[in-house]
Structure 1
């Protein structure tokens, strides 16, 4: 039986009131927009290939352009955050499988090339077979592009990101699917937009479930529930629910309602990325999100070790 300590547990505090972790220096809105645009581009490439296989040329055209445009705009946002274009090029000099940023660079570069070639062929009608082959390549790199950014932020010491490392890939995948499906719903006629509606609905469901799991993670999930990040995440959740309801009820019958639901999906996707990003910054600034979970993990280890030691003692 363990003795009860007569000294109360000390309250956590930082050294001279300073942060324990350094706040990430990533820029806003550059990085949240990069997270959003990567998801939009990756999911759009998959949607475009599905449209090509099912004979929906208008949907294919919109999705191809969205994939290429998202990749281009995302690269611009990334380079702006890095400060100089050569920094992005330097990341392509060496491939490091253990570095999410290195892996991501080798996903973004070929994806942008494939998506750009497929979109150019789609618009000009030049080299259609090569354009289609490029579209297949973009679709292959699409899911990794939409989700690698989750590993990028989770592979840090930032509590709100690191503790959600299992759920964030699903949040980002669902968010990207919402964005791609929503954009297509806005721009494609109803008779060709069925795959976009299905993608948006599945994406919304995936994001809602994964986001809900994050908010149940105790203290480290608090930044997702309070303050500005909490407001952003609540808006995103409510927007996804409203858009999904409108899509399920009349998204296939009303062109106006389909466009409004699509815009709502897009707004939800953008807001989710900003909410996740700002939740991470908030958790880095408050030392309790670092100290308290560490103490809880240490206590669990001590309790488990004591239990194992007791079980190993002979009866008598």
Structure 2
């Protein structure tokens, strides 16, 4: 046998240079009998990712409605209030459908626990939906304006929490792509909610009242983009499911739709709209694109988290890196 055998491997001549072939195969991050290290949440994408999106749309729309009232835009206010109520109701239907029985939703409200995102979120919804409902009914009927104004203020106060609490909820799980992104995820969800609410305003409100919706949508798009980029850059390899597979496809679609929608929204408020194209059409198309972008982001985050829970690599590698750092920090220097 040519070469020199050593404990770490066998040296061979390769291209005029001595190389070394390790005897130990490269490590593969597999689990016992191929089972995941974590049990992925038993959530259905349509219900829970849809719940994330609709809750964000509802909360953002209530904030937009309050701004429209303050600036004297009744048409935009009615659109936002109606959209907030509809999105809020459908989001609860989706949540209850995933839970299996309505009683399970009410059971979550038996105790208020500040340290439980699910408990806090349930109480937020319990207070938000009646306020959003009263605000929408008063706006549509034109009756009890003071009651409607109070309800609008209450819904706007609770709206940001409704829009972003689901980010805290998934960050409190052991799912790697969600848990490790917990500092930035609320900003991703809040930006996505603002983008969706602004998109609804652009889609449904008159052009002469859509400026607050346009500003909210553009601000939300920038917030979501910056927070998402910061999150994926910071968490390193755990961000891989956000760039590959089903989750990555949704995220890329959301980024493209968001860029298209933001460009159209910005143009709809300037004289730069191409000749012969109604500005109202540009605003509506961009609003629909922004809403679709927000939904795609929520579905992308959902599927990326599920993928990271199924692959043991995203659990084992960070654990070993943390153990190595902890060991080096406590290592005793040689005398």
TM-score bracket for the superposition, by shorter chain length: over 0.9
User: Does structure 2 conserve the Cα–Cα contact (< 8 Å) formed by 1:107 and 1:144?
Assistant: yes
Contact 1:190/1:252 (8 A) holds in 2: no
Q: Which residue of 2 aligns with 1:261?
A: 286
Whether contact under 8 Å (1:43, 1:177) holds in the other structure is yes
Contact 2:45 2:303 in 1 (8 A): no
C-alpha distance in 2 between matches for 1:211 and 1:54: 31
Answering whether residue 243 of structure 2 is matched by residue 243 of structure 1, we say: no
Residue 211 in 1 paired to residue 256 in 2? no
Alignment of 1:1-316 (within 5 A): 11-216=28-233, 217-252=235-270, 254-306=279-331, 309-310=332-333
> What is the distance in 2 between the residues matched to 1:12 and 1:59?
53
Please list the CA deviations of residues 236-261 of structure 1 after superposition, one character each: whole Å capped at 9, or x if unmatched: 11111121122223345511111110
Please say which of residues 213-222 and 281-290 is displaced more in the overlay: 213-222
Work out whether residues 37 and 312 of structure 2, in 8 Å CA contact, stay in contact via their aligned partners in 1. Answer: yes
Q: Distance in 2 between matches of 1:83 and 1:290?
A: 30
> Is 2:264–2:286's contact at 8 Å kept on the other side of the alignment?
yes
Equivalent pairs counted in the alignment come to 306
Asked whether the 8 Å contact 1:194–1:252 carries over to 2, the reply is no
Long gaps (5+) in structure 1: 1-5
In the alignment, the residues of structure 2 paired with residue 237 and residue 112 of structure 1 have an alpha-carbon distance, to the nearest angstrom, of 30
Structure 1 residue 67: Cα displacement: 1.0
Whole-Å separation in 1 of the counterparts to 2:72 and 2:104: 41
Contact 1:172 1:207 in 2 (8 A): yes
State the partner residue of 1:3: none
Which ranges of structure 2 fall in alignment gaps of 5 or more residues? 1-7, 9-22, 272-278
What CA distance in whole angstroms lies between the structure 2 residues aligned with 1:180 and 1:58?
15
| SS state at 1:29 partner | helix
Give deviations 1:176-233, integer Å, cap 9, x for gaps. 0010000110111111000000000000000011111232221111000101111110
Residue equivalent to 2:3:
none
Residues 74-128 of structure 1: per-residue CA shift (max 9 Å, x gap): 1111110111111111111111111100000000111001000110111112211
- 1 CA distance for matches of 2:29 and 2:299? 29
Distance 2:71 2:29 in 1: 59
Q: Could you tell me whether the CA contact under 8 Å between 2:211 and 2:269 is conserved in 1?
A: no
Q: Is the 8 Å Cα contact of residues 252 and 258 (structure 1) preserved in structure 2? A: no
Larger Rg, first or second structure (1 or 2): 2
Partners of 2:327 and 2:283 in 1: CA distance = 55
Asked if the contact 1:100/1:152 (under 8 Å) is kept, the reply is yes
Please report the TM-score for the alignment, with normalisation by the length of structure 1. Answer: 0.93
| RMSD across aligned positions (CA) | 1.7
* Cα distance between partner residues in 2 of 1:226 and 1:53: 44
